[in-house]
Structure formats: C-alpha cells, structure tokens
Structure 1
Amino acid sequence: CGLFVGMVLSLQLYYTLAKFGGTAALGTVVALSLFRELGPVVTALLFAGRAGTSMTAEIGLMRATDQLSAMEMMAVDPLAYVVAPRFIAGVIAMPLLACVFNALGILGAHAVGVSWLGLDNGTFWGNMSANVEVWSDLVNGVWKSTVFGAVIALIATFQGYTTPPTSEGVAYATTRTVVSSSIVVLALDFVMTAFLM
C-alpha cells in the first residue's frame, strides 16, 4: 500500500508542481506528506482493519467459548495473560509498520518521479534531505503512529473482551472495532497535528 500511495502521490504532485515551475520540490513534498500525515494515518487504518479485527475476534472467541471464564476459575488474570500482550504488541508494531510504509512510499515516489517522469535523481534526494527535519517531521510521525497503535489496540482488546459470547456478538464487535478505530484515528490525527505543529 505504501508503494502505491507514494507512486500516486508523486504522479499527482508532479503535474501540480509543474504548473508553478516547482517540480524540483517533488521529493520534499512527498516526504513531508508521508512522514507527517499519510504514513501514520493510512498505516493506522490498515492496522485497524487487519490486526485490530484479528485481536477482537481472537479475544471474542475466547469469551464465546468460555476460555476467559476458565482462566478466571484457575486464578489466571485474563487481562494480564491475554489482553496486555496484544496491547503491547500493537504499541510496538504500529511505529515499525509506519516506517516501512514511509520507506516504500518514498521508493514508489522515486520510481515514478525519477524513472518515469524524468526528474533528476540528485534533485529528488537532495531537496528531500535538505528540507525534511528529523525531529519535527520524522519523530512526530513516529509519535503519532505510537499513539494510534495504542488506541487501536485498546479499542480492539476492549471490544473483544466485552463482546457478547455468541458468534453474532463477535461479528458485531469486529465491525465496531474497525469503525471506532477509524473515527478515533482521524480525530486524534487532527488533535495531535494541532498540538505538534
């Protein structure tokens, strides 16, 4: 997904920048768009749809088949044994996935901008490295993706843990996970952007 987002971003921005004679800024604009917004947000939406629903379904099925009740009967805390590892995994995995998304997005933008549209390779990389700040751009994107991972994991585990113990309940819980996570990610993105800028 990152590769194709970078490719289409490069294609769209090249012709827009060409109207103003600014095609040399293509690498910078693509990198800033990916690092600040598109990388963390699109990765979070994909993460919610794939990993979030998986977490909800796993925990929900454990609820439906009385595995969580059996743990409680054996004095094993299901929150510590089932929920906490999934939450921690979500917090760790999201920034890593966002970094991979960003890297592939920039490679896709490079392939379209340099190989296809004929932009100079040195101009693409030189302007990008000169204008992208590590702390204000890269670290803020990683910080956003960490928060998104925590929120998605929290929503997914909560929906799975509190789902009604039926197959229909698990299905509704997975749907609620995707919808709630998507809305919260987009709302949090606005709030975090307002505070980080």
Structure 2
Amino acid sequence: MSLVVLTGGPGSGKTTLIDALERSGLARTEEAGRAVIRDQLAVGGRALPWEDRERFAELMLDRELRSYHEARAAPGAGPVLFDRGLPDLVGYLRLEGIPLPARVHTAAGELRYHRTVFIAPPWPAIYAQDAERKQSYEVAVRTYEVMAEVYPEYGYELVELERVPVAERVAFVRSCLGVGSST
C-alpha cells in the first residue's frame, strides 16, 4: 500500500481532486486542518488558526498521526490519498513563524509517504475563501512556496499538477500511480 500526499496552497483544487479520485475508487483521508477547524467551530473551541495557532497545530498533529496510522492498518493494497501530510504541518509552523517542535520534525521525517508528492500550484481562477479558508490569495501563494521548500527537505520528489480540469488531473494522478483509468 502506498500513502500518497497531495499538497499545495489553499484554494488550489487539492480537495476537489481528492474527492474526484475517491469517486474513481481510490481511498482517501480528510484534511486535518479543515477537520480541526470544523470541530472547533462546532464546539466553540479556540484552537483555530486565527485564535490559537499553537493549539491548532497540536490538534492537526494528532489528527495527521491518527490518519497515518489508520491508513497503514487498513486492508487493501491500493494507494491511500492524503489531503496534506505531516510535512505540511512543518510548513504551516514555518509560515506562521512558530518554532518547530522536535516531535513534529520527527513525525515528518520518520513516518513516510510515497516518495512522489503531488503539489497543486496557486490558481487564482478557482481560489475562493469560505468559513474554513480565511487566508488571502497572497497567503495561499506563500503556503505553496513553503510546501515546495519543505517536502524536498524531507526527501520527497514534487510533481506539480497542471491547471487543467479535474478530469484531466484525475487521469494524470491515476497514471502516475499506475492505477489506470477510473471505472
């Protein structure tokens, strides 16, 4: 089984692509950041990127670790898609100017994904803010740049996705993963 990460800045089509890949039969995980934000908003919590960034990062680490271990333990031989991975947390901390805890560095270095990581570039034509995505487009671009730095630092090879329709992105990712066309 291979654990495959899709990363990039907010609003670059990652989740839309992963949703489409899931519909084509591939397994996936949920993006930790969005899940934490949704949970915190639902319970009136403060572990939000616009209130308590350090606590938000801790909860993202917990969720990423759980997703990683659940995917590793799941039956099946096909790829499991991750909407961001542990190195994204390193990038988030770097972007926010928060010191990198040793446990985050260790997790990002020791818990490995497929060597090839897909990165979605900034795409102004599809970028939009919502209740969980409050970053400006400029922050989305900087997030992409940081992820493009961080993943190679942890030994991953980045493959940039083209700004093409979702169906073309699906076909490209499936081809790269060697899983053929969707059913």
More helix by share: 1
Q: RCO higher in 1 or 2 (8 Å CA, sep ≥ 6)?
A: 1
Q: TM-score when scaled to structure 1?
A: 0.27
